[in-house]
Structure 1
Amino acid sequence: MVFSLLLSIMPIVIVVFIVAFAVKNKEQGGEKVVRHLYTYLVLFATLMMVIGGGVSIFMGAADLASPSGYYQSYTEYKQMIVAGKMEGSKNEMSEEEIRSSYDIYVQEEEKRQKDRAINQIIKSLGFIVIPLPVFLYFNKLRKQQSE
């Protein structure tokens, strides 16, 4: 809800800043204003990508530290085994076999959640590693333009 509200307001804010910047620098000439405007838009876009990547890495690290997911309760698992609805289930399993099978199921699910978190962290690094050099280059270019 909040994210969608920010997405709808963000273009309006950008347009207001563009118009204010253009009016302020009207006497400098059109080409220079467009060049500055392009530089600031690239800086804004790459900065948003880097921030988004950082937030995503933090979320992935939190999932890695404390994997959360839905685990079927032991009672539900046992009922599925007894009813024969799970693949590879035997109709005549002892209570200990069902319990050990459930523990293995929970461990595999936790491992799967951790693997997903690691995968998310690796993907999110791309949102930092790729736009960061572009941001640094355009920031250096902006400093040169203002001198």
Structure 2
Amino acid sequence: MIFISLAMFFFLFFIVVLAIAAKRATNTLNEEEREDMVKQVYHYAVAFITLIMIIGGGVFAFMSVADYVSPNTYVESFEDYKNMSGYKVEIENVEKEKLSEHEIRAQYDAMVVQQNEQSKQFALNSFIKSLGWILIPLPIFVFFQRRINREKKNHS
């Protein structure tokens, strides 16, 4: 959400600056030139915002790949796990059943594997979402960049 807010701030700032410049230039420009300048401002603004979105998506995608390759999971020590899980929970005044060291170690290893898999799944999910920040604005950026280049050639 912060990224979207930042992109919108830059977009509005860009529009305000260009609107001020356009207002100053309106005294010397005819109607057709003013319309042309407004189109250019719009094209540059859209290209700028979509470029910001693509860059942000690339950064988020890189961070997700890094989290997938090297998951950053906190795993409690075996001793802490053993102290917390050494006994099965007593249900309705049934006797407590003590687990063997081997059973506790198997449960602990399964928990560690499960946490690593969950971290990797979360990183993969984040990567796919980040691709949306790249793939959705990319065609829009390319379209407006081509329009800008075409307009530059026409004015030359």
Q: Taking structure 1 as the reference length, what is the TM-score of the superposition?
A: 0.80
Task: Give how far 1:82 is off.
Answer: 2.7
Q: How does 1:24-63 map to 2 (within 5 A)?
A: 26=26, 27=29, 29-63=33-67
Matched residue, 2:100: 94
Q: How does 1:75-86 map to 2 (within 5 A)?
A: 75-82=79-86, 84=88
Which of 101, 112, 130 is 1:106 aligned to? 112
Matched residue, 1:121: 127
Matched residue, 1:130: 136
- SS of the aligned residue for 1:44 comes to helix
- SS of the aligned residue for 1:39 comes to helix
- SS of the aligned residue for 1:127 comes to helix
Gaps of 5+ in 2: 90-95
On the 8 A contact 2:88/2:98 being kept in 1, the answer is no
RMSD between superposed Cα atoms in Å: 2.7
Q: Deviations over 1:91-122 (max 9, x none)?
A: 31111111111011001110111111111111
- SS of the aligned residue for 1:92 comes to coil
Gaps of 5+ in 1: none
The one-letter amino acid of 1:40's match is Y
Matched residue, 1:142: 148
Q: Deviations over 1:50-70 (max 9, x none)?
A: 001100110011001100022
On the 8 A contact 1:81/1:91 being kept in 2, the answer is no
Residue identity (%): 37
The one-letter amino acid of 1:54's match is G
Matched residue, 2:14: 14
Task: Give how far 1:73 is off.
Answer: 2.3
Q: Taking structure 2 as the reference length, what is the TM-score of the superposition?
A: 0.76
- For 1:37 and 1:44, the matched residues in 2 are separated by 10
On the 8 A contact 2:61/2:127 being kept in 1, the answer is yes
Judging changes above 3 Å, is the alpha-carbon distance between structure 1 residues 122 and 9 closer, same or farther for their aligned structure 2 residues? closer
Segments of 4+ moved more than 6 angstroms:
none
Give the count of matched residue pairs: 140
